[in-house]
Structure 1
Amino acid sequence: MTVTEEIETRGTTTVADRAVQRIATRLVTEMEGVGGSSRRMLGLTVGGSEPKIDARVRGEQVTLDVELSVAYPASVPKTTEAAREQLTREVAELTGLIVDRVDITVTSLRGADSGERRVR
């Protein structure tokens, strides 16, 4: 069997949307200055432990929709651009797929976690 024949008889690997979603979520949670997506209900912040990511795989291409928070006073444009670049590069590297679009929605700005409580 020649190399060409061998390549033509190989199967394909399919990467599920959920697998890409989990990879992207892990990558975002490890980024500096980025946090979970939070919602507001009746004026109160609700939830927000993890970024919300929706991944859609179509053939060899991936589209990511990301909802996250940015640590104040970090620059929102710089933080989201860094997140977009890192997701594009690392998801492609880990999955072998082409990340054609990363849409990021910033749901809130969050204060820096100091680790200590303040009493007023």
Structure 2
Amino acid sequence: MTTMTAAAPGTDGRGGLTVADGAVERIAARAITEVDGAGGAASRVLGIAVGGEDLDQGAKVSAHVTGSTTTLDVRLSVKYPLSVRATTEAVREHLISRVGGLSGLTVTRVDITVTALHSEETETRRVR
């Protein structure tokens, strides 16, 4: 958790703003659900995927806020047969825009790890 050092425009020095890492993580995780083709991260034990994708839990996001900037580390799945590159670029651009707009922070870096591919069949089986 870090305090933004500069007052926001129009605040006339009325106080500072603190945005916690966890708040940014929740904003980012929610924003990922707004991108078609992105899903939850696969659970892992000792680096090995277990139990398939965790679509109900959503993507896993780690944020590090420094001053008025933040970096994001994202773990998610991509819907098969969509392009992994196109889907992750859409996620990256959406996160930069959405997290920046909602938090007031500048997103300087978004690292994405694709942990699994998911399909309609996988999602249907999980619902039963």
- TM-score normalised over the length of structure 2: 0.77
Check the 8 A contact 2:41/2:58 in 1, yes or no: yes
Task: Please tell me the root mean square deviation across aligned C-alpha atoms, in Å.
Answer: 2.2
Match of 1:63 in 2: 71
- TM-score normalised over the length of structure 1: 0.82
Q: How many residues align?
A: 111
For residues 72-87 of structure 1, what are the structure 2 equivalents within 5 Å? 72-87=80-95
Q: Does 1:23 align with 2:27?
A: yes
Deviation at 1:40, TM superposition (A): 5.2
Matched-pair identity in %: 49
Change (3 A) 1:59 1:84: same
**Separation in 2, partners of 1:99, 1:64:** 8
Q: Deviations over 1:77-101 (max 9, x none)?
A: 0000000000001100001110000
Q: Which has the higher strand share?
A: 2
Deviation at 1:113, TM superposition (A): 4.8
Q: Does 1:109 align with 2:93?
A: no
**Separation in 2, partners of 1:107, 1:89:** 24
Structure 2: give runs of 5+ residues left out of the alignment.
Answer: 1-10
Largest Rg, 1 or 2: 1
Deviation at 1:39, TM superposition (A): 2.9
**Separation in 1, partners of 2:35, 2:108:** 21
**Separation in 1, partners of 2:19, 2:70:** 10
**Separation in 2, partners of 1:39, 1:16:** 25
Check the 8 A contact 1:40/1:46 in 2, yes or no: no
**Separation in 2, partners of 1:114, 1:44:** 14
Match of 1:98 in 2: 106
**Separation in 2, partners of 1:70, 1:94:** 25
